[in-house]
Amino acid sequence: MIKMLRHSDQLEIAAMVGIDPASDGLARAERLGVATTAAGVEGLIVLPGFEDIEIVFDATSAKAHRANAGRLAGYGTRLIDLTPAALGPYVVPAVNLDLHLDAPNLNMVTCGGQATIPVVAAVAEVAPVQYAEIVASIASKSAGPGTRANIDEFTETTARAIESVGGAARGKAVIILNPAEPALIMRDTVFCLVDAASPRRRADIAASVERMVAQVAGYVPGYRLKRQVQITPVADHPHTLVGDRAVTHQVTVLLEVEGAGHYLPSYAGNLDIMTSAALRVGEQLAARALEAR
């Protein structure tokens, strides 16, 4: 909501929907003149002007999204799913948004997926990625009940999207809830196993990753490389043979995501990258709809 109010020319907020009448978010929305309901999707459907709503952003949980999507199915609204429910195609704006602009339900994968899949895709543009593993470390304070309820869905959805969107032959995802005090900003590590025997290919991989990081930072300003791209030999690595494919090098990319601090704390980069990516998708859907009129 706040990102739309501050930054979006294409989207107009019709309502803020919650389930807790005492929610600080709903109170903030009311102070800003946004219509609200604490009755969930049922309250949204009966709001005046609901028939004019074209896009719904769902930031609940995987279980709740499945119910919400079913309830809204007959109304022609487009759903942007910020949960790992994965009912619709996986969408990572920097990688594949243009492929899914006509889908009724677009899935934003996970915070770890939004941070790391662009990097896997950037490596795969240069050299086939036989195996990709990502580790997302987020502040425990930034992991609410929805995130904690979705740990299994996080790992499964992210791993599938590493393969289907990132282009890896095999993918694995790990999430760490870091209890450190003071809270640490989101950190992500990407490991890719590739055949990069030639110095030219290694240079091309590093350059591709750097270009992709800049592209993601265009809609997530706090997204950045923590260190230079590392490409090291894997002669004695247990994954030297992945299936029937030989790999020669491991690509290691260290990232961090700092939140914009518009409403949530700046250490909550995991939440900021999801809302920023979802906003980019919503703006593209709106732009496409306006062009068609």
CA distances to 26, 43, 164, 241 from 39, in Å? 11, 5, 36, 54
* In the block, residue with structure tokens 């662009």: 118
Cβ-count burial of 52 within 10 angstroms (0-12 exposed, 13-18 middle, 19+ buried)?
exposed
CA distances to 119, 209, 214, 243, 270 from 225, in Å? 10, 9, 9, 31, 15
User: Considering 85, 111, 162, 274, which one is annotated as catalytic?
Assistant: 111
What is the token pair recorded at 212? Answer: 């992709």
Which residues does residue 241 pair with via DSSP β-bridges, in sequence order? 246
* In the block, residue with structure tokens 């769902």: 58
3-class secondary-structure state, position 88: coil
Q: Is 111 tagged catalytic? A: yes
Who's near 147: CB < 8 A, 6+ residues apart?
138, 154, 270
Name the nearest CA neighbour of 90 among 64, 121, 63. 121
Q: What one-character DSSP code corresponds to residue 90?
A: B
What is the token pair recorded at 188? Answer: 């992500």
Who's near 46: CB < 8 A, 6+ residues apart?
none
The stretches of the chain forming alpha helices (DSSP H) are 2-7, 24-31, 40-45, 62-72, 93-96, 111-124, 145-149, 151-164, 199-217, 269-292
Catalytic residue IDs: 111
